[in-house]
Structure 1
Amino acid sequence: MSYTTLSLAREGHLARVTLNRPDVRNAFNDILIAELTSAFNALSEAEDIRVVVLAANGTAFCAGADLNWMKRMAGYSREENFDDARQLARMLHAIWACQKPVIAAVQGDTYAGGMGLVAACDIAVAANHANFCLSEARIGLVPATIGPYVIRAMGEQAARRYFVTAERFDALHALQLGFVHEVVAPDALEMKVAEIATTLAANSPAAVRESKRLVQNIAGRPVSLDLINETAEMIATVRSSTEGREGVRAFLEKRKPSWLAVA
């Protein structure tokens, strides 16, 4: 599929989705939302892909909503606004639910809906000059569709502050909050992202997929008998799977597992 607002490149087991609207600081519109949804749904099912990087061209990672798109929304009915917001929510969920680990390479400023993009990814690496802002309250809006992902990423207490103050904070503070995992110099961003991607691609694809699902399924849940049984069932299933058996045998036999033979 060809795209107009982003580019999609594949190299070996790595896919790179790059926001490509630098003239508007990679702001969302309905086309970008639809294309991101399509790209991530396809990559989730692509058997040859093990890692996805979400990046952006230009000085900003994502400035939130496109102004022209916002002008159109100003005249929408409540039903039209609901349909529009649901498309954004589905796009964020497509990234969050992607069966492959997703790394955000944040090379520049990230505001409003852009914060949701980063939060929906599994791993986030930011350049040290990047700034972040949940700016919705300044213009009478709320970060509703991005909220489930941002709150998971930065924690409830931080969200209680930044959702209502709309303060801007820098990459180092984002690191302190846990919103991003690493902060590096701009010229080291690609190297760090590539290093993490290589590490991920060397692991069992099935184990990576199930480990991602494990975190999503049990985060925040109480340690109950149901959860204990659920996790026991999960590891039993993985141990008896093809990759699980192969990984253990390779470890005991001091050889590389079969999934590295096709890396």
Structure 2
Amino acid sequence: MDATAPVLTEIGGNGVAWVTLNRPKVNNAYDEEMLAALQEGLARLAADAAVRVVVIAGQGRHFQAGADLAWLARAAEYPPERAYRASMATTRTMRMLNELPKITVAKVRGGCFGGGAGVVCCCDIAIAEEGAIFGLTEVRVGVAPTPISTHMVHALGLRQARRYALTGERFGAAEALRIGLVHEVVPADRLDARVDEIVAEALMAAPGAVARAKASMLGATGWALDEATMSWLAHDSAMQRASAEGKEGLAAFREKRRPAWAPAQG
């Protein structure tokens, strides 16, 4: 295994795969390389009959900080076709995770923002430590969370998704539990053990029945995305990122200043 790869995947002999997001220097923020690695890994895990449970975690102190803002700033200058492909990379990765025919578990430590919260929404089970911090923060930098929007509504319901996706405010693990973003919150020193306990429970489920049950729940409720919907979401994301507002928000973040639309500090 290449320890420098953006995603580390280890498949155990017990049918459990451990997927570690591996860009700790940027709090595991994703870029095109990480998304490509995730897509490749998820496709491989989906096709592997021996894999029954997939646990997703972040390397280091944090789970995942969403999109790498340096990458988003570059993508804001891409020509339209490439900009669309960049947004589709996120959209497709989230769909693959959401529809993976295995039981998926998010193991959340530290910060979990933007697309990181989207990853949690796409997992079947989410367990967080008490000190975890969350936020659907895209609007704070002038971009829209459209690649994860359907998954946010699916996990949180429209009412809670509207509040947190529109304000971009941060919230703690207790609030994440209350609104349904995570299923359980445990002390930091119990997180590993609790995830192991959940995995043991998951392994009691018949794999074929799991795949069929998951597909039927997503299909019957309309949460399985089709290509036309994905295309619309990706196009919408790319358009906002390339807008004057998107460029101003990303520039403000890079320059460590308040964006033009934010009230002046008193």
**Cα distance, 1:81 vs. partner?**
1.6
Scaled by the length of structure 1, the TM-score of the pair is 0.80
User: Identical aligned pairs, as a percentage?
Assistant: 37
* Aligned mate of 1:18, from 17, 20, 23: 20
| Structure possessing the higher radius of gyration over alpha carbons | 1
1:143 equivalent in structure 2: 145
Give the counterpart letter for 1:116 in structure 2: G
Looking at structure 2, the residues matched to 74 and 213 of structure 1 have their Cα atoms a distance apart, in angstroms, of: 35
1:72 equivalent in structure 2: 74
Tell me if structure 2 keeps the 8 A contact 1:61–1:114. yes
Looking at structure 1, the residues matched to 27 and 106 of structure 2 have their Cα atoms a distance apart, in angstroms, of: 16
- The superposition leaves residues 159-211 of structure 1 with CA deviations (integer Å, 9 ceiling, x where unpaired) of 11111111111111010001110001111111111111111112211111112
The 5 A counterparts of 1:40-51 are 40-51=42-53
Looking at structure 2, the residues matched to 217 and 128 of structure 1 have their Cα atoms a distance apart, in angstroms, of: 33
Does 61-70 or 51-60 show the bigger shift? 61-70
1:5 equivalent in structure 2: 6
1:183 aligns with 2:185: yes
* Aligned mate of 1:211, from 199, 213, 224: 213
**Cα distance, 1:220 vs. partner?**
6.8
Looking at structure 1, the residues matched to 219 and 73 of structure 2 have their Cα atoms a distance apart, in angstroms, of: 38
1:30 equivalent in structure 2: 32
Tell me if structure 2 keeps the 8 A contact 1:45–1:99. no
Task: Please list every run of at least 4 consecutive aligned residues from structure 1 whose deviation after the TM superposition is greater than 6 angstroms.
Answer: none
- The superposition leaves residues 56-77 of structure 1 with CA deviations (integer Å, 9 ceiling, x where unpaired) of 1111111111133123112113
Looking at structure 2, the residues matched to 18 and 180 of structure 1 have their Cα atoms a distance apart, in angstroms, of: 19
* Aligned mate of 2:41, from 19, 39, 42: 39
- The superposition leaves residues 126-159 of structure 1 with CA deviations (integer Å, 9 ceiling, x where unpaired) of 1111111111111111110011111111110011
Looking at structure 2, the residues matched to 44 and 177 of structure 1 have their Cα atoms a distance apart, in angstroms, of: 29
Does 82-91 or 68-77 show the bigger shift? 68-77
Tell me if structure 2 keeps the 8 A contact 1:151–1:159. yes
Tell me if structure 1 keeps the 8 A contact 2:118–2:151. yes
Please give the secondary structure, in 2, of the residue aligned with 1:160. Answer: helix
Please give the secondary structure, in 2, of the residue aligned with 1:26. Answer: coil
Give the counterpart letter for 1:40 in structure 2: L
Looking at structure 2, the residues matched to 123 and 30 of structure 1 have their Cα atoms a distance apart, in angstroms, of: 26
Query: Larger relative contact order (C-alpha < 8 A, sep ≥ 6)?
Result: 2
Please give the secondary structure, in 2, of the residue aligned with 1:61. Answer: coil
Please give the secondary structure, in 2, of the residue aligned with 1:183. Answer: strand
The 5 A counterparts of 1:88-107 are 88-107=90-109
Looking at structure 2, the residues matched to 199 and 148 of structure 1 have their Cα atoms a distance apart, in angstroms, of: 28
Please give the secondary structure, in 2, of the residue aligned with 1:99. Answer: coil
Looking at structure 2, the residues matched to 185 and 87 of structure 1 have their Cα atoms a distance apart, in angstroms, of: 34
Looking at structure 1, the residues matched to 37 and 213 of structure 2 have their Cα atoms a distance apart, in angstroms, of: 27
Figure out how many residues of one structure are paired with residues of the other and give that number. 221
Tell me if structure 1 keeps the 8 A contact 2:99–2:214. no
Looking at structure 1, the residues matched to 127 and 167 of structure 2 have their Cα atoms a distance apart, in angstroms, of: 24
Looking at structure 1, the residues matched to 109 and 166 of structure 2 have their Cα atoms a distance apart, in angstroms, of: 26
Unmatched tracts of structure 1, length 5 or more: 222-263
Looking at structure 2, the residues matched to 194 and 117 of structure 1 have their Cα atoms a distance apart, in angstroms, of: 20
CA RMSD after TM alignment: 1.5
Looking at structure 2, the residues matched to 116 and 125 of structure 1 have their Cα atoms a distance apart, in angstroms, of: 14
- The superposition leaves residues 98-147 of structure 1 with CA deviations (integer Å, 9 ceiling, x where unpaired) of 11011000112111111111111111001111111111111111110011
Please give the secondary structure, in 2, of the residue aligned with 1:60. Answer: coil
